[in-house]
Chains A and B, each alone.
Chain A
């Protein structure tokens, strides 16, 4: 008889739900052509919703963190909150991809999407360098294929290749860093690394730096962002939305967890590094976005600058900072998915990449999508009546509290610059006439797409709702932040 570890099935239920959905979606490839898409899509949708529901239950049941599976995973409210956000984001992405024009690959697409979701949901619960790497590769491999899944488009293949090479490099840096940390401490699990007294070991410092760099690739913080604009532009638009929202959420939560639980003793070192990364991301992301014409590239650079804001919260190294990060992720995910969903709608209507020019007059011709994109842009710029404003406010408060007043000033300046491109989008939507461009088929209305409409409505509701219902979200965020040892 072999001793088997006791398994906490509830803690793993979000992952299992998504894996089951992926299996069903994959099997649908065997069905008749007309059934494939609906079966695969509904399976993935149910998987993500199920994962979100399970995560909600786990959140409710885990007021104290609990170590699982021989110290490889942890069940706590931080992971559960991240899983909840990931589940909802994934469900919205499934809705947004429903009417994607795709001749084949429906089953593979939804199966990979659900598997990527399962990987992320697993990743945020990692409590050990091994599971950390496992989770990272798990969802990254799925994403490499998803990025390149529209194999008839050259840009999609190019994006897939770029993402594979740069992402593979990032993963190997992370792996090498993990090896160094293991060498210095002989420990794999995060709390044990913190407990091992190796604070003056150069290997530990090098390992920490490389782990941080590997994670920075995933959150697309400058200067590890080079893949972001090209990959965001080339991927199928719904997948871009998924990467912008879900990958970032997972990677940020894990970054926070690794730094706070495994390296609290090196705090003076990494807070400065993270603050510098934040500053570079803010500067580079915002200046880069100003020069872009393609909407997906603008949003890619904007996601780099948002990474800067969220890193500010991590650099604060306080429960207030963690709360700010977790709050920020919620409206940010909604705005990203929503904005890319509107881009997808325009893309499907015009059958061409969406540049600023192709937004001309859209605000008047497609009032619903126009208002939604307007709200997302204002939200990303941090205007009131959207959760984006409170996100910025909490991040700034946390940074100011931690004494990083220079980062606050930089963040304010970056916000000012960001208006240049966010309001430019609004200008094209409403203040340019689309008549002379003759982009849209004259007099026609866009193809009916209720699933996309629901996806965008859900994003709008979260974006605006998180402005009015701040305290409940903050309570949840503060519970989740409470699972970390500050």
Chain B
């Protein structure tokens, strides 16, 4: 029941927001309240979750299409509960940001954001292959419009590339879903067995690789992250990308143990390439959004390495890093949005020297940056260390690449920090540009506090992501 409530609250909220003819501020406020209610609901659900029990919890199953073995089946494992938790918190911040900047066409905008929230939570909760496909695909409907209507100048080009890439992946996945479901006679993830068909696995793997994105399927990323409204970019990089990780963890590896094992070498090599390549691109990007976009690609590659390490260290690290990266990426994107609102650009050349006279901005950017570059003691450091340790089991070379990635992350993150805060004041930075307002701080600070909390106690996530029996169930 709890999971169903988590799905229905944002969807019902979306409907209400779309239909009620309220003025702009009230609409936004109502949407924000729904998002906060979703956070509260998640906390209540997590309170009822027994992390030592490895099975599916808080679940509901209802027959949907009996003759094909399709059911509405939802529920959480430890790791997916954490991913859903990151989702609801980041969405609350993103919707709050949309309210703060006062997006126009408020009813449509907030309804779409809430619909997207519902679709993402459904993706993390889905225990039926078809339901997973439905929610995975449903995410695209609001994203298409959110980027295409509220985006920057080249938003139409961005939406077209984004949709072509993701739909090509999704449709391959549809073919795989059909093939897997028909051969198994059921679409239920809990009841179906495993398959050793490499082609079916590839259909899933490519869809996830596009969504993450992994090298060489990242062609849509720079344009989409640059042109999307900043809070939508935050949601894309922080949350939507993690649905790919969930897909690998819940479908790719458990349902296709042999093909996943056979192709793990290839995937690891591609992920390593993506990690280094993304980091270098992030270091060279001329604008803040570009840096964060490519760093997000690098981080997703890193998480994928953790997943395909096939051992508990790597998997725990992957989940911890997913949650930490969600908060880091969301807060960085929101901060970039705040800088853009003040300076009108995110070009690194035109920025600089914002630390002087703006203590709150300086502190917040510095803290977020320090966590992003994984200083020892931070949650991201714990995640990356676990992934590195896990990858070592697959070959020491992978650990070397991961270590290299960590060094490169330090380089591009320091570049962002100094580009915003230090050097001489850039031409776009005017004296009138104010420090962060309390409303903005209220959106970013909770994310940073959560990151600090996770830094103090990373085991909260990493120890509870996979109970021993979950591992045995998911990694046969």
Interface centre among A413, A431, A471 (most CB of B within 10 A): A431
Which of A323, A408, A474 is B178 in contact with, Cβ under 8 Å? Answer: A408
A contact residues around B63 at 8 Å (CB): 471
A385 on interface, CB distance cutoff 8 Å: yes
Which of B64, B133, B141, B172 is A471 in contact with, Cβ under 8 Å? Answer: B64
The reply to whether A393 and B163 contact each other, CB–CB distance below 8 Å, is no
Which of A401, A419, A430, A478 is B148 in contact with, Cβ under 8 Å? Answer: A430
B contact residues around A392 at 8 Å (CB): 174
B181 on interface, CB distance cutoff 8 Å: yes
Tell me the smallest distance from the CB of B126 to a CB of chain A, in Å.
12
Interface centre among B67, B105, B130, B181 (most CB of A within 10 A): B67
B145 on interface, CB distance cutoff 8 Å: yes
Which of B134, B163, B168, B172 is A384 in contact with, Cβ under 8 Å? Answer: B134
CA distance A419 to B167 in the complex (A): 8
CA distance A340 to B167 in the complex (A): 26
The interface of chain B, by Cβ under 8 A from chain A, is 63-68, 70, 105, 130, 133-135, 137-138, 140-141, 144-145, 148-149, 155-156, 159, 163-164, 167-168, 171-172, 174-175, 177-179, 181-182
Please give me the residue from chain A that is nearest to B151 by CB atom.
Answer: A431
Tell me the smallest distance from the CB of A381 to a CB of chain B, in Å.
9
| Majority-rule SS of B interface residues | helix
Tell me the smallest distance from the CB of A364 to a CB of chain B, in Å.
7
Tell me the smallest distance from the CB of A101 to a CB of chain B, in Å.
31
B contact residues around A389 at 8 Å (CB): 134, 137
The reply to whether B141 and A412 contact each other, CB–CB distance below 8 Å, is no
| Majority-rule SS of A interface residues | helix
The reply to whether A384 and B148 contact each other, CB–CB distance below 8 Å, is no
Which of B133, B141, B155, B175 is A409 in contact with, Cβ under 8 Å? Answer: B175
A contact residues around B171 at 8 Å (CB): 412-413, 415-416
A227 on interface, CB distance cutoff 8 Å: no
Please give me the residue from chain A that is nearest to B137 by CB atom.
Answer: A384
Number of A-B contacts (CB under 8 A): 80
A contact residues around B155 at 8 Å (CB): 431
Which of A323, A415, A430 is B145 in contact with, Cβ under 8 Å? Answer: A430
- Whether A416 touches B67, Cβ cut-off 8 Å, given contacts A427-B156, A430-B145, A431-B149, is no
The reply to whether A384 and B182 contact each other, CB–CB distance below 8 Å, is no
Tell me the smallest distance from the CB of B140 to a CB of chain A, in Å.
8
CA distance A486 to B137 in the complex (A): 35
The reply to whether A412 and B68 contact each other, CB–CB distance below 8 Å, is no
CA distance A470 to B163 in the complex (A): 28
A390 on interface, CB distance cutoff 8 Å: yes
CA distance A177 to B228 in the complex (A): 58
A contact residues around B149 at 8 Å (CB): 430-431
The reply to whether A401 and B182 contact each other, CB–CB distance below 8 Å, is yes
Tell me the smallest distance from the CB of A324 to a CB of chain B, in Å.
10
Q: Mark A361-382, 1 if CB is under 8 A from B, else 0.
A: 0001000000000000010000
A203 on interface, CB distance cutoff 8 Å: no
A400 on interface, CB distance cutoff 8 Å: yes
CA distance A430 to B149 in the complex (A): 7
A69 on interface, CB distance cutoff 8 Å: no
Which of B66, B138, B141, B178 is A397 in contact with, Cβ under 8 Å? Answer: B178
CA distance A278 to B440 in the complex (A): 56
- Whether A416 touches B148, Cβ cut-off 8 Å, given contacts A383-B141, A431-B156, is no
CA distance A364 to B63 in the complex (A): 38
Knowing that A400-B179, A412-B172 touch, tell me 8 more A-B residue pairs with CB under 8 angstroms: A384-B133, A385-B134, A396-B174, A396-B175, A396-B178, A400-B182, A405-B179, A431-B156
The reply to whether A400 and B65 contact each other, CB–CB distance below 8 Å, is no
Interface centre among A405, A412, A478 (most CB of B within 10 A): A412
